[in-house]
Structure 1
Amino acid sequence: MTEGAVNSGAAEQGWASTTIANPYGSIKLRTTEQGIPLAVKVDAAELHRDPAQLAGEVLRLCQRAAARAGLAKRKQYEEAGMSPEMLARTGLPTEADVARQEIVEEQDYDTEPQSWLRTL
């Protein structure tokens, strides 16, 4: 499956999407606002990792993308004049929620690369 084929399908469906990468740029995802992956790009060096660790990293990136997309949607609603009470009812994350989630992820998971060597 190529990224271009996945992207064109997403565009045809009119889905909003977000792009996210791990800190090293070796894993990149394009997801729906709900965190469902539309395209995945993994550097060859990452394929040497334990499959469970790699899958866990992709899942965490999907969750992070969904949280950030939810935060962006919340900001859109705020700018449109939605009341704080209504915003609270949407269940969309706040900046504090997203920051807290990302700090917990960084503390709970070892996301350092197996090797600093990368193919050029």
Structure 2
Amino acid sequence: MPMSTATSRSGSISVETTEQGLPIAVTVERAELRRDPKELAGEILRLCKQAANRAGLARRAELEAAGLHGDVLALTGLPKPEDVARQELVEEQEYEVEPESWLRSI
């Protein structure tokens, strides 16, 4: 089963999911825990969706490599590369926040 990882722009939140979006691993730096809980949860969910889309792309590539015809692939509902790229661009513009401080704890 393909899995994929998505990371926040700052690198302080990382999520690994299955292609269905089920989180396998979530890593959150301590500084992120000071954020509003709703915002943090929203960011984690957004990253889960992003990772799931990427895992879906990996599954699609596996099926294409195995010779599955394009019409059958369309029926699977797996994302196409251009759809995932477009969605990630929209999400980056809408949801990415600038860090509250450029300084990071070491």
Equivalent residue for 1:37, pick from 23, 29, 32 = 23
CA deviation map 1:2-29 (0-9, x unaligned): xxxxxxxxxxxxx653222112210011
More RCO (CA 8 Å, sep 6+): 2
Q: Within 2, Cα distance between the matches of 1:95 and 1:84?
A: 14
Aligned to 1:65: 51
Residue identity (%): 58
CA RMSD, Structure 1 to Structure 2 (Å): 1.4
Deviation at 1:91, TM superposition (A): 0.6
- Tell me the TM-score normalised to structure 2 length: 0.90
Does the residue aligned with 2:17 lie in a helix, a strand or coil? strand
Q: Which amino acid aligns with 2:68?
A: M
Superposition pairs for residues 106-117 of structure 1, below 5 Å? 106-117=92-103
Q: Which runs of 4+ in 1 moved over 4 A?
A: none
- Tell me the TM-score normalised to structure 1 length: 0.81
Unaligned 5+ residue runs, structure 2? none
Does the residue aligned with 2:100 lie in a helix, a strand or coil? coil
Contact 2:4/2:51 (<8 A) preserved: yes
Q: Within 1, Cα distance between the matches of 2:99 and 2:19?
A: 27
Unaligned 5+ residue runs, structure 1? 1-14
- Equivalences, count: 106
The change in CA–CA distance for 1:88 and 1:65 in structure 2 (over 3 A counts) is same
CA deviation map 1:80-104 (0-9, x unaligned): 1111111111110000110111011
